[in-house]
Amino acid sequence: MTDAPARPRSLAELFVAFTVLALQGFGGVLPVVQREIVERRRWMTQEEFIEEWAVAQTMPGPNVCNLSLVIGSRFFGLRGAATALLGLLLVPALVVLALGSIYSHYSDHPRVAGALRGMAAVAAGMIVATGIKLAATLRRHPLPLAVTLPLAALGVFGLVVLRLPMLAALLVLGGTGCVLTWRRLKP
């Protein structure tokens, strides 16, 4: 028997959680959100996270901001959505302003440029690792791997090789996945 997922005890806990994960997300916060919300705090299962991430990607605006709104709303309604978004943005925005000021002073230094390139490589690796973790849930999807893996591969091919707009790939491939899953689950 599995335990029910935990939940944040208060708006303050939700705010602090999103602030802490945002401050860890150099180069991209999605891997940190997945680790903190699913693995560490256990506020959601991996499957619930994937579903909420899919919803967040279909909304306009930054995906991780959308995800914070969806997760906050899940636990505390509109107040939770606003709190999670504020936690995600407030302190990191202040840090970015301070770092931007420092960077403008030292941006011409070659070591600073090299350090930033090194951080970009690490961030790309974190995104790939998160993609691999999230792909593992395909085994539990209602559609067989013979359908979900080609959809995922077509998504990567369309975005990386053909450089299709994300919205187009999402509408075509995501729409196809939704219809096929709906038909499979239809009683």
- Check: CB of residue 141 under 8 Å from CB of residue 149: no
Per-residue 3-state assignment (H helix, E strand, C coil) for 16-32: HHHHHHHHHCCCCCHHH
| Alpha carbons 135 and 175: distance in angstroms, whole number | 18
| Lowest-pLDDT range of 93-97, 103-107, 108-112, 134-138 | 134-138
Per-residue pLDDT band at 96 (split at 50, 70, 90): confident
In Å, how far are 72, 109, 110 from 34, measured between CA atoms?
Answer: 14, 35, 34
Which residue in 135, 126, 168, 177 sits closest to 49, CA to CA? 135
- Does the pLDDT value for residue 1 go beyond 50? no
- Check: CB of residue 180 under 8 Å from CB of residue 143: yes
| Alpha carbons 156 and 117: distance in angstroms, whole number | 24
Q: Please, what is the Cα angle at 31 between 27 and 33, to 5 degrees?
A: 105
What is the per-residue pLDDT across 17-70, written as a single tens digit (0 to 9) for each?
Answer: 999 988 887 666 788 888 889 999 999 998 899 889 888 888 888 888 999 999
What is the per-residue pLDDT across 108-162, written as a single tens digit (0 to 9) for each?
Answer: 888 887 877 777 777 778 778 877 877 777 778 888 888 988 998 998 899 889 9
- Check: CB of residue 71 under 8 Å from CB of residue 43: yes
- pTM score, whole prediction: 0.61
**Domain spans in the chain, listed from the N-terminal domain onward:** 11-106, 110-137, 141-186
- Does the pLDDT value for residue 167 go beyond 50? yes
Amino acid (1-letter code) at residue 141: H
Per-residue pLDDT band at 105 (split at 50, 70, 90): confident
Which residue in 63, 44, 58, 175 sits closest to 127, CA to CA? 63
